[in-house]
Amino acid sequence: MNLSEDQYLSQLNRYLMSGNLRDFEKLVKRLDDQGISLDLSRIQNIEEKVSNLFIYHLQTGINIDEIFHILKFANDFQFFAGLSEESNLPIADKDQEIIMNLQSLFENLSPGFFHYIVESLPNALSIFISSNRGRFLPFDSRISLEETINSIYSFVDNTYSSYGLRTRKIGSFEDYYQKYKRKRQFFNEDYYSFEVERTDLTDQSNQSFFIIFTERGNTAEKHLVYAPLLEKVRKKFELSEYSYEFPIVSMIVEGGIGPEGKGFAYLTPHGEVIEVCSDAKQNKAYIIEYKKYLKSIFLEKLAQHMQSWPEKLRLETIDFFKTNIHTQMVGLHDIENLSEQEINLYLKKVNNLITQDFLNFLDKSLYEILIPVQMEDQFKVRMDLIKDNKISESEVARMASLGEISHFDILNQRIFFLNLIKNIIRILKRKKLLK
């Protein structure tokens, strides 16, 4: 039975109020298949409903994944097409960075979405925070509104985390570079290491820094730097050649904020150095991804070593190694069993084509793929790729990922929330609730 447009909008309104985005999408798709197009911006108080969902997920454990899902959903379905594109941002040149940040998070921006992000959403949050200071985040409700806002900003600025990835603000890039020049020690080849003391970190008043270091028993973290790259980044930064990018500057090899103390440090568009560390599960995931990379290189070289082989046998051998050489974490005993029981048995079938050079290649390659890998090896491989102009220094943030979530995404989210808080402050000042 076909309903009127208002009846369909009423049903969609109920789905949105309850946060039932799945049934919302199913109904819109069904109507679209029937050739029925609705103006979703006509849903009553749609800005308020989306903002309420946003606030709800902030209150319930700060569900970052769901927050960005809601905003992407609203953008994709053009909820705010009826909003004015005018904003009250006092500094026009800040608009472009916000737009690039939003495009990185949500791709193409639908009409009205920018206005919602810089006006409607921060306005809703300003009302909520003013009335519910003690419930918004775990801050003392007795402190002033200004102190609450400053605490929230400091928390996001210095220790934002999401999806198991944790960030920490180390400080300005210029300060970081000067510390490197003063403290660096030769590591090997073009690599240097230096320590960042706890007292060097930005915002020492934030006690979360002290807790993190003392729980791990560390008072400093060690950074590994590929000197030619850091000099390149510094030169491009000074010449303002980076637009909206997060070039890598170093690897944290000890004492970082993740349980294993490892991670990477990036330069942000704000001229800061931010480290992104991760938990043990993600470190393992990075290593497995690195092993997959080594395996792909091995299979390419294997094909080159077998160019003179009959085509059928060559393809069969490549398929054998593709199937039997896995990239999971294994011990040396497992490697020996694989070599002796499966690979050697297979090679007997093609014994007349095997040379000592081929055996040496196999032995070296298989151990590189299968033995336990240090994250430092991955860092050096990426530095080599940058040196050979196969990737840029800004692409590493996208390569370091767990599933679909990358360091680039986390760094983007951090800037999104910082911009959001700045707009909340702007609106509170406009309402004369802040000086």
**379-435: per-residue pLDDT in tens?**
888 898 899 888 899 999 987 766 678 899 999 999 999 999 999 999 999 999 988
Q: How far apart are CA 171 and CA 203, in angstroms?
A: 9
Buried b / exposed e over 215-231, threshold 16 CB at 10 Å, is ebebebbbbbbbeebbe
CA 362 to chain centre: 36
**Does 82 have pLDDT greater than 70?**
yes
- Distance of alpha carbon 390 from alpha carbon 160, whole angstroms: 31
Write down the pLDDT at residue 214.
35
| Contact (Cβ atoms closer than 8 angstroms) between residue 39 and residue 28 | no
Give the C-alpha separation, 363 to 339, whole Å.
Answer: 9
Q: Which two three-digit tokens encode residue 424?
A: 């909340």
Burial 365-383 (b: 16+ CB within 10 A, else e): bbeebbeebebeebbbebb
From the number of C-beta atoms within 10 Å of its C-beta (0-12, 13-18, 19+), residue 198 rates as middle
**Predicted confidence (pLDDT) per residue in 99-143, tens digit:** 999 999 998 888 889 989 999 999 999 999 888 765 555 555 677
Per-residue pLDDT at 204 = 43
Quick check: 150 pLDDT over 60? yes
What distance in Å separates the CA atoms of residue 416 and residue 105, rounded to the nearest whole number?
A: 9
pLDDT at 207: 39
pLDDT tens digits along 247-280: 999 999 888 887 778 889 999 999 999 999 865 5
Question: pLDDT over 90 for what percent of the chain?
Answer: 41
- The C-alpha atoms of residue 364 and residue 367 are separated, in whole angstroms, by 6
Average pLDDT over residues 361-384: 78
Instruction: Please state the rounded mean pLDDT for residues 67-92.
Output: 76
Please report which helix (H) or strand (E) contains residue 171, including its range.
strand 165-172
Residue matched to tokens 């919302």: 24
What pLDDT score was predicted for residue 165? 83
Q: How far apart are CA 154 and CA 152, in angstroms?
A: 6
Q: Given the structure tokens 């705010």, which residue do they identify?
A: 80
Token output for 367? 């151990």
Predicted confidence (pLDDT) at residue 23 exceeds the cutoff of 90: yes
For residue 342, the 8-state DSSP code is: I
Token representation of residue 267: 């330069």
Report phi then psi at 222, rounded to 5: -105, 130
Range from 79-88, 159-168, 246-255, 263-272 carrying the lowest mean pLDDT:
79-88
pLDDT at 200: 63
The arithmetic mean of pLDDT across residues 146-155, rounded, is 89
Amino acid 265: pLDDT: 95
Distance between first and last Cα of the chain: 57
Please classify residue 312 by burial: count the beta carbons closer than 10 Å to its beta carbon, then call 0-12 exposed, 13-18 middle and 19+ buried: exposed
pLDDT at 386: 92
Half-sphere exposure of 395 (CA within 13 A, CB side): 8
Lowest mean pLDDT among 270-274, 299-303, 334-338: 334-338
CA distance linking residue 301 with residue 81, whole number of Å: 54
pLDDT at residue 282 greater than cutoff 60 = no
Residue 211 has a pLDDT of 34
Q: Which residue has the higher pLDDT, 326 or 229?
A: 229
